[in-house]
Amino acid sequence: MRQRGFGLVSAIFIIVVVAAVAAYMLQVSTVQLGTVSRGVSGERAYWAAQGGIQWAVRYVQANATGNSHSDATQFCGTDIDGTTLDVNGYTVAMSCTAYLFSDPQDRSIYHVTATASRGAPGSRDYVSRAVRASFAQPAP
């Protein structure tokens, strides 16, 4: 009696193994693509926050009157703190605290935080980065 069909069983086994390996590779590829995409979004959020810091420094430098007390009150209290910027689709929220310092010249010390975010908190595409910087006006 001749046996037939062994080649068919082997072919089906090879097809199932190749399909399983392909499915696994597709899953790994999808996860890797998502990870890279979130990394790029995080980097863009970081640079948007850096842009917010640069805006605050430039704003203070361009509008300083030379009176440290009134500059600190005006810039941090009303102009920078609570300001929201739109930088390439990222919302940048600014917060600012100012301190007066005298030794030997009066100067304002600004502590600025810029938080850039995009998406809704809790969603897969949500990203947020914060950058903090301190600077003095006039510069030492």
Scan for tokens 């979130």, then name that residue: 38
Question: According to the model, what pLDDT value does residue 54 have?
Answer: 93
Torsion of CA 46, 49, 97, 67, to 10 degrees: 130
Q: What is the pLDDT of residues 28-69, one digit of tens each?
A: 887 888 778 888 899 999 999 999 999 988 888 888 777 777
- DSSP for 88-125 reads TTEEEEEEEEEEEEESSSEEEEEEEEEEEEES-TTSTT
Percent of the chain whose predicted confidence (pLDDT) is above 90:
37
Residue from 127, 103, 124, 119 nearest 49 by CA: 127
For residue 1, pLDDT over 60 is answered with: no
* Helical spans, DSSP H, in the chain: 6-63, 68-74
Torsion of CA 11, 17, 23, 26, to 10 degrees: -100
Tell me the C-alpha distance between 46 and 111, whole Å: 18
